[in-house]
Structure formats: C-alpha cells, structure tokens
Amino acid sequence: MVWNWQQPDWPHFSYEELPLVGYDNKLLLGAGLLFGAFKHLDDDEKSQLTIELISNEALKTSEIEGEYLDRDSLQSSIRRQFGLVSDNRKIPPAEQGIAQVMVDLYQEFQSPLSHATLFNWHSMLTNGRRDLNDIGRYRTHQEPMQIVSGPIHSPRIHYEAPPSNQVMSEMERFITWFNETDPNGKSPLPALVRAGIAHLYFESIHPFEDGNGRIRRAIAEKALAQCLGQPTLIAIAHTIERNRKAYYTALEQANKYNEITAWLIYFADTVLSAQSYTQVRLEFLIKKAKLYDRLRGQLNVRQEKVLSRMFREGPEGFKGGLSAEKYLSITGTTRPTATRDLQDLVMKGALSRTGERKHTRYSLNLDC
C-alpha cells in the first residue's frame, strides 16, 4: 500500500472549491449566535458555562481514544487552571493533563503553533505515564508507526505513518504551513478548509508515540479559533464520539491520496453539526443555571444528586426518562421517600411527569 505521504504531491493537498462554498458563512453565523447567547450572561455564569463546555469536550476527546475520565475531578482541575475557587480534591494525572491542554488551548489560541506548544501538550497528556519512551518529544522508535486492528497473528493495517527519522522534518513543514495559513499569514485559507487539512495533515504524520488523536483535534480547534478570532467552544469531540466509526472511516479513506474533497466535506459537516449541538447545549446549560437559582435552598441532598445526574446526560436526557427505580438506584433511599421526593420535584416545577403507575416517567422541566 502506498500512503498519502508517499505520493509525489505530498503534502500539497488538493480539493474542489465548489462543494465547499457556503460552509464558512454558516460557521460564522453559528459563531455569532453562540457569542450572542454568552453576551447576556454575567461573569460567573460565563465562567461556569465555559467550564461545562470545556470539560464535556475534554471528556469526549478522551473517550474517543478509549479513556474514560472522572467529570468532577476534571471540572475541578479546569477551575484551578482558570484560577477559580475549587475544592481540595486530589486530581488524577489524566484529568489534570487534559484539563491543562484544554485551558491552554482556550487561553492561547492566538499564539502561533510551535514544537514547544506541541511538546508541552504532549507532556500534559502523558502526565503520570510510565509506559512511553518519548514524552514531550516526537517519537524515536525504529519500528513502523502503524494503526492496526484485528488479531495479533493477522492484523489489518489501516495506516502506516512516516518513519521516526522523518518526523522532525515533516513537523517543521507542517508547523510552517499552519502558521502561514492563519488569517494573518502569507497564505490564509478558509476556516473549515484550514482546520480540516490541519487535522488530516497532523494525523498523517502521527508524530508522537501516543496522544496523537487528542492533539490533532486540539490543533483543529486552534485553527478554527484563530479564524473566528475567539475560542470556539464547539462540541467537535462530542459529535465525533457519537459516531466514531464514520470518523475513522473518513480518516482511513483520506490517508491514501492527497485529493481530499470528500474529507473536507465530512469535516465541515461535522463541525457545523457540532456547532448546532453546542448552541442547543448552551441553551440547556443556561436553563439549568436558572432552575438552580430558582430552587436554591429548596432541595434535599437526594434531589440535588438526582438532578445533577439528569443534567449530566445533557439535552438528550435519560433514555426513556427518569423512573422511580432509577431514582432509587441513584440515591439508595427507600421507595416511600423516593415517591415523596419525586412528587415534591414535580410540585416545585423541577420535573414534569408523564404516564401512570409503573409507566410513570419524569423529565427535566426547563421551560417553567
């Protein structure tokens, strides 16, 4: 198999412009709507919503790689990174590392990309790891860097990246391209085209021993933020995680040739879908804040725990709604107490009720 980096036109990606017309206008319109929603919030509300959005992306970008983190530890670490009051819990290395990357990405999006930036991100992500030889630097191992699946005796090779001795020169060229194509560079590109190419270009080099997936998504978000002139807070990782198979299929189809129109269309559609979801999630979080403000001091510990768990599911909510059995499972309380708690939440307007008896279900009432 001949891969994209082995083609004579590498790394000069080509694409058809016509199918991509209009995508950036939709991106800018969506960004304006998100900015408008934030504009009417006070500073505390903006901080809390920013932490919620960043932490959800951090969780999802890690889940794509099969790593499942603790949300509360992650949010606590993000608050510390922003210099906000936090609890004194001990933060595990994985949660601390991705929190540092996401906050650095948010605060330093305008800075040019550099080897130092990438090395720093990699050191953060691999914080506490003892199984890697190359931390905070590009890979040096001599064996091929391959993406494989299937049994050990008969693996399927989905991709093989350039050998380690070529990585530094490839990354020099990549970083130069990235900085020259930003809005103020020598060769600016449309936002979604630049972010899509950056994502694929970095992935093709696969420069680190591990952590390439999370870093390539961070690079794509940095590209979008530079083109929009503000942190994106777009739920790209969330959207990818919901359909990982399509994501990896699109990457696999794009790593053989350097004509990448299909990849850019896929990527642009994904970003716009993520932006739409972010708008929905932002409205959801604003309604959450208003509900908690209205019910402050009126909820018992069990009720607070259940509402927190329901909000954690996001705008989609519990599949099938909250049942009395789920309430019992979450709180560990008795059935009579659960019944009283649920009736009280309905009376206070926190939940709405549908169905009867064993078919009774409860959902968040956010339009009260």
- The verdict on 44 and 129 lying in the same domain is yes
Q: In whole angstroms, what is the distance from residue 48 CA to residue 339 CA?
A: 32
**Residue 126: is its pLDDT beyond 90?**
yes
What are 43-62's pLDDT values in tens digits?
A: 888 888 899 899 999 999 99
Specify the number of domains making up the chain: 2
CATH number, domain of 126, equals: 1.10.3290.10
Domain end: 285, 308, 337, which one?
285
- The verdict on 219 and 320 lying in the same domain is no
- The verdict on 35 and 172 lying in the same domain is yes
- The verdict on 127 and 181 lying in the same domain is yes
User: Is 311 a member of any domain?
Assistant: yes
What are 327-361's pLDDT values in tens digits?
A: 999 999 999 999 999 999 999 999 999 999 888 99
Burial code (b: 16+ CB inside 10 Å, e: under 16) for 129-152 equals: eeeeebbbbbbeeeeebebeeeee
CATH number, domain of 316, equals: 1.10.10.10
- The verdict on 273 and 313 lying in the same domain is no
- The verdict on 211 and 349 lying in the same domain is no
Q: CA 21 → CA 15, 25, 236, 264, distances in Å? A: 12, 9, 21, 12
- The verdict on 179 and 41 lying in the same domain is yes
- The verdict on 200 and 228 lying in the same domain is yes
Domain end: 226, 250, 285, which one?
285
User: Is 324 a member of any domain?
Assistant: yes
- The verdict on 198 and 309 lying in the same domain is no
**Residue 240: is its pLDDT beyond 90?**
yes
**Residue 40: is its pLDDT beyond 90?**
no
3-state secondary structure of 351: strand
Q: Which domain holds residue 60?
A: 4-150+159-285
**Residue 289: is its pLDDT beyond 70?**
yes
**Residue 368: is its pLDDT beyond 70?**
no
**3-state percent breakdown (helix, strand, coil) of the chain, nearest 5:** 60, 5, 35
Exposed, middle or buried by CB within 10 Å (0-12, 13-18, 19+), for 39? exposed
User: Is 292 a member of any domain?
Assistant: no
User: Is 334 a member of any domain?
Assistant: yes
- The verdict on 119 and 190 lying in the same domain is yes
**Residue 1: is its pLDDT beyond 80?**
no
